[in-house]
Amino acid sequence: MFLLKLLLRNAFRHRLRTGLTILGLVVAITAFGLLRTLINAWYAGVEASSSTRLVTRSAISLTFALPLSYAPRIKAVDGVTAVSWANWFGGIYQSEKNFFPQFAVEPASYLQLYPEYVLKPEEKEAFLRDRQGAVVGRKLAAQYGWKIGDQIPLRGTIYPGTWTFTLRGIWTGAEARTDENQMLVHYELVNESIKQRFPGRGDSTGAFIVGIDQPANAALISQHIDAEFRNSLAETLSETEAAFQLSFVSMSDAILAAIQAVSFIIIVIIMAVMANTMTMTARERLSEYATLKALGFPPRFVVALLFGESLLIAVIGGALGLLATFPAVAGIAHALGSFLPAFHITPLTMGLQIGAALLVGTVAAAWPAWRMSHIDIVSGLRFMA
């Protein structure tokens, strides 16, 4: 208790300097947490992927469609348990800034393959019955204030015209990382419109969602599916859902690497600032440490004082920075809307923030502690007033 009081008195002997150092730590730890949260959010889709789902798309590009006639042939492949399909809808709600993912799906089989979308039985049944119905995630419904039964107009981009859907259900994610910012509509309604306007483009889909029995057989089943359509007019590329999501993330690898580098640079900068603070502190108390050694206190006591003071400042700044991260993340998540659906701070990020603060406090005190532990008593006492 006595040592803690001594550390507190020493740490706040120069309140302005200590306050500015703590403020710098708060800003650095908060910024570090925000950048790490951004990186985690970018990979959230990969982490939320199921190991029992494959995605089969065109071998040329995702923009090339596959015929629906492939579905029964995929289902016949050994190890496949279920097949569904999804088309990107790409509608605009009110204005272009209101972006959120929309997919035209085969409802029954799609929801079977995505058990993490938890719908009430009556809402699921209403969606299956109503071809103009739609279901959305909880966060998306909360963002726009939608309720069951609301009419949701979307201005088509890929599929021209104004489409009005009736909200039949709002799902809740089974896990925190489940995407709750999507909208699902009936594929058959969209397909009928396509066949009327563009007869040659109907009965096709952008991707098949394939359920498999054993995750360990994912690679083998993917090979068998692609072999089934080799040398056809529309060859396929099958991969795990995680690999499919990662293909989108990989487009931003350079940006993510830069963000990760900046997050560590911030810690290095505040480490240098903290080291400067502790060096100034040690230099000002040179005579005090010499006196302690003259009175018989061992060098390790001086080391403990410097490390304790540095860690105390780092812990205070780190704790305040960690607390400040929560409202900052919440504010950014609200501003981003559905652009990054899983933008929330994780236990790992909090652990990294705490570890970064402790590392800063430890490294900052290392050099001055070593210097003061080896100080010559006579030389140190010359600095006494």
Between CA 213 and CA 293 the distance in angstroms is 72
What's the pLDDT band for 61 if we cut at 50, 70, 90? confident
pLDDT tops 90 at residue 17: no
Contact 58, 194 (CB under 8 A): no
Q: In sequence order, what are the residues at sequence separation of 6 or more whose Cβ sits closer than 8 angstroms to the Cβ of residue 145?
A: none
Between CA 244 and CA 201 the distance in angstroms is 24
Token digits of residue 15:
């309140």
Helix (H/G/I), strand (E/B), else coil: 180: coil
Q: In sequence order, what are the residues at sequence separation of 6 or more whose Cβ sits closer than 8 angstroms to the Cβ of residue 216?
A: none
Q: What are phi and psi of 211, to 5 degrees?
A: -90, 140
Low-confidence winner among 111-125, 236-250, 256-270, 332-346 (lowest mean pLDDT) = 332-346
pLDDT tops 80 at residue 384: no
Token pair 């016949």: residue? 76
Low-confidence winner among 9-13, 61-65, 100-104, 359-363 (lowest mean pLDDT) = 9-13
Between CA 207 and CA 181 the distance in angstroms is 20
Helices 299-336 and 15-42 meet at what angle, rounded to 10?
A: 50
Between CA 112 and CA 127 the distance in angstroms is 14
The pTM of this model reads 0.71
Contact 256, 39 (CB under 8 A): yes
Distances (CA, A) of 283 to 88, 346, 360: 65, 40, 19
Distances (CA, A) of 84 to 71, 104, 111, 298: 8, 11, 9, 73
**What integer best gives the mean pLDDT of the chain?**
84
Average pLDDT over every residue of 212-221: 91
Token pair 């403020």: residue? 23
* pLDDT for the residue numbered 381: 56
Burial of 299 (0-12, 13-18, 19+ CB in 10 A): middle
